[in-house]
Amino acid sequence: MKQFFSDIPTVKYEGKDTKNPFAFRYYDADKVILGKKMSEHLPFAMAWWHNLCAAGTDMFGRDTADKRFGTEKGTMEHAKAKVDAGFEFMQKLGIKYFCFHDVDIVPEADDINETNRRLDEITDYMLEKMKDTDIKCLWGTANMFSNPRYMNGAGSTNSVDVYCFAAAQIKKALDLTVKLGGRGYVFWGGREGYETLLNTDIKFEQENIANLMRMAVEYGRSIGFTGDFYIEPKPKEPMKHQYDFDAATAIGFLRQYGLDKDFKMNIEANHATLAGHTFNHELRISAINGMLGSIDANQGDCMLGWDTDEFPYDVYESTMCMYEVLKAGGLTGGFNFDAKNRRPSNTYEDMFHAYILGMDTFALGLIKAAELIEQGQLDSFIQKRYESFGSELGQRIRNGKTTLTELAEHAEKMGSCPAVSSGRQEYLESIVNRTLFN
């Protein structure tokens, strides 16, 4: 078997003082944290599209990296070379999962029947590879945003024929996800939104999207898919306004259309910040609604207003993320690096540096979040902050057993309001900093 990264060694944990650039400083797969191995806390996944397909093309220039893997792009030979390279890459890093869109794994043909035939062929090949390794599929999805037929949306299109193509792609992508044993199936609504209300019937479009999702659930369950469906919220880009704006909006949509039992959230850090939220806000909103499913682990740039999909290096953010994940009892999905190298980082070595950076960032975040939880200072502060609701009256308020009149009488009896306690934000922030930098 041809080796694509023969000069890169298998990446191992060597501890924080190692000088080896191809070693983990914090990610120690078998290390037990809060009763679970790091590898179980952190089911990392490789994103097929960024790692094996994207080669640096942007709006202003063409590829800077060579991702031909010794073949010609647009061929099945290239599709197979990507499988070989991808598996070699994951094995060298100890990554156990991958995520894919249908058209990441084969070149799309003009005729959907031919695309589907290619998909069957490549997934047979992927299955062969999977048999020889412990690598599995985290989630699959259909790309319903690149092909020009989706310029007016997929589930939200005005064309009934295009809607059928979306259905056909979802059906096939579900078949493939089941064939590859995927844990989840993602809907990211890249073109599900609008540019102007002058040509758009939002209610009509949202009902059609919900129907498509309902059909996907019915079909998925009928072929034995027992995993979670995910919505991946994002407020904008490529559309001016996307319907799955953020977790709260997506959860409301799922409840409105009776889809909430089958769906959870796939929260992407950079999408959270585009929506004007922190990453941990989106995770918390999902978790308190019982819908924290999976994570697209990346990072944006506060200087830029778009989805830069950078590899995560911000340990404060990863700590806050892991704090939410640990509190929620873990993910049913995993941590998919929906991230790409910067355009000038164009060598094979850079692909490895990027994943080592991302994995170590989350491993350190996990270690620090576990420390915060074990110290318990944040928890006890929050508990104390609400303790006035422990009173007899407070308990009745909590249990919905009071009236406005009764509470008003209580206030009127007091006359003037008692002193209220400090929120102590800066003190709490210093606890986090002490934990991070001790």
Chain contacts with ligand XUL (rule: CB under 6 A): 101, 141, 186, 188, 232, 234, 268, 296, 307, 338
Binding site for Co ion (CB under 5 A): 268, 296, 338
Strand bridging mode 97-101 / 136-141: parallel
* 175 versus 307: smaller Cβ distance to Co ion: 307
389 secondary structure, DSSP code: G
Q: How far is the CB of 190 from ligand XUL (least distance, A)?
A: 6
112: which 2 tokens? 């959907």
Extract the runs of DSSP E, i.e. beta strands, from 304-407: 335-337
From the candidates 104, 228, 244, 309, give the one annotated as an active-site residue.
104
The answer to whether residue 228 is catalytic is no
Is residue 312 within 8 Å of 318, Cβ to Cβ? yes
Q: Which is nearer to ligand XUL, 175 or 232 (CB)?
A: 232
Contact partner, 175, from ligand XUL, Co ion, none, Cβ < 5-8 Å per class: none
Please tell me which residue in 41, 78, 101, 271 is annotated as part of the active site. Answer: 101
- Find out whether 283 and 324 touch, Cβ atoms under 8 Å: yes
Structure letter (DSSP) for residue 150 = G
Choose between 306 and 427: whose C-beta lies nearer to Co ion.
306
- DSSP states of 199-216 as a string? G--HHHHHHHHHHHHHHH
Which tokens belong to 104?
């990441």
Owner of token pair 């059909």: 215
Q: Which is nearer to ligand XUL, 289 or 294 (CB)?
A: 294
Q: Of the two residues 186 and 367, which places its CB atom closer to ligand XUL in the complex?
A: 186
Q: Nearest approach, Cβ of 426 to ligand XUL (angstroms)?
A: 35
Contact between 43 and 97 under an 8 Å Cβ cutoff? The reply is yes
CB 336 to ligand XUL: min, Å: 7
What span, in angstroms and rounded, lies between the C-alpha atoms of 191 and 205?
Answer: 11
Q: Are strands 241-242 and 228-231 parallel, antiparallel or unpaired?
A: unpaired
311 secondary structure, DSSP code: P
Cβ 144 to ligand XUL, closest distance in Å? Answer: 9
Compute the least distance from the CB of residue 48 to ligand XUL, in Å: 10
307 is catalytic: no
Q: In which element (H, E) is residue 371 found?
A: helix 348-375
> Of all residues in this chain, which one has the CB nearest to ligand XUL in the complex?
188
Residue 136 main-chain phi, psi, to 5 deg: -130, 170
Residues labelled catalytic: 101, 104
